[in-house]
A and B are shown apart, each in its own frame.
Chain A
Amino acid sequence: DVKVTQSSRYLVKRTGEKVFLECVQDMDHENMFWYRQDPGLGLRLIYFSYDVKMKEKGDIPEGYSVSREKKERFSLILESASTNQTSMYLCASSFLDRGNSPLHFGNGTRLTVT
């Protein structure tokens, strides 16, 4: 079974803090993704990566950065957390070249910024 592991299930941070969300997958997937999910807005793509040290902006990259130093690990960084970044964050991964490969999600991190 594919396993995508997010380091924290719940996080509470203060405004202005630098926040790191970590994600590790064990299936040798090339693609890794970070989404946020808010009621009524659905899943919104923040960043994705198709290779080590490669990153592509998604729909809402402002206020976020990412790091992919190893194939299995993809980190999301909130440089200076703000209350409007309170959300559920979902990491996901997939194969790159296998067009039929689905997206596999981690358990999610519910981040609250106060």
Chain B
Amino acid sequence: QKEVEQNSGPLSVPEGAIASLNCTYSDRGSQSFFWYRQYSGKSPELIMSIYSNGDKEDGRFTAQLNKASQYVSLLIRDSQPSDSATYLCAVRGWTGNQFYFGTGTSLTVIP
């Protein structure tokens, strides 16, 4: 079983819509969860981090964490074509030394 699983997509949404990206993880001891955005040919950049159950909002982005269900999600409101990228879910292992990544969800926002 993979440590972190994401719906691989590709996901297409029209401009202005809400994009919903999902992630599940297997290690119940994990405490830190991150979303990275990666444009084609570029390196991942951190866009959200979340540590507590519930929602965390930052501009058009909302991260949601449910530790009981071992589930993390990212909502992108008012999606823009510039949001078209691959989104990586990352979980920091309980030892603190390792990060586990999903394989990413490719998002395309259609103008």
Number of chain A residues whose Cβ lies closer than 8 Å to a Cβ of chain B: 26
Measured between beta carbons, the chain B residues less than 8 angstroms from A41 are: 103
Taking a contact as CB atoms closer than 8 A, the residue among B31, B43, B51, B92 that contacts A105 in the complex is: B43
Q: Are B97 and A96 in contact (CB under 8 A)?
A: yes
For window 31-59 of chain A, which residues contact chain B by CB distance below 8 Å? 31, 33, 40-43, 45, 48, 50, 56
Across chains A and B, the number of contacting residue pairs, with CB separation under 8 Å, is: 56
Distance from B53 Cβ to chain A, minimum over Cβ atoms (Å): 15
Measured between beta carbons, the chain A residues less than 8 angstroms from B96 are: 96-97, 99
Give the CA-CA distance A23 to B36 in the complex, in Å.
Answer: 20
Measured between beta carbons, the chain A residues less than 8 angstroms from B41 are: 110
Measured between beta carbons, the chain B residues less than 8 angstroms from A106 are: 43
Distance from A40 Cβ to chain B, minimum over Cβ atoms (Å): 8
Q: Are A103 and B43 in contact (CB under 8 A)?
A: no
Taking a contact as CB atoms closer than 8 A, the residue among A42, A94, A96 that contacts B101 in the complex is: A42
Measured between beta carbons, the chain A residues less than 8 angstroms from B43 are: 90, 105-108
Give the CA-CA distance A51 to B46 in the complex, in Å.
Answer: 24
CB closest chain-B residue, reference A96:
B96
Give the CA-CA distance A97 to B31 in the complex, in Å.
Answer: 13
Interface residue? B44 (CB, 8 A): yes
Measured between beta carbons, the chain B residues less than 8 angstroms from A107 are: 42-43
Q: Are A100 and B31 in contact (CB under 8 A)?
A: yes
Distance from A9 Cβ to chain B, minimum over Cβ atoms (Å): 10
Report A79-90 CB contacts with B as 1/0, cut-off 8 Å.
000000000001
Taking a contact as CB atoms closer than 8 A, the residue among B32, B45, B97 that contacts A31 in the complex is: B97
Q: Are B97 and A102 in contact (CB under 8 A)?
A: no
Q: Report B's interface with A, CB cutoff 8 A.
A: 31-32, 34, 36, 41-46, 49, 51, 88, 90, 92, 96-99, 101-104
Query: What 7 A-B pairs are tightest by C-beta distance, nearest first?
Result: A42-B103, A108-B43, A105-B43, A43-B101, A103-B99, A102-B46, A100-B32
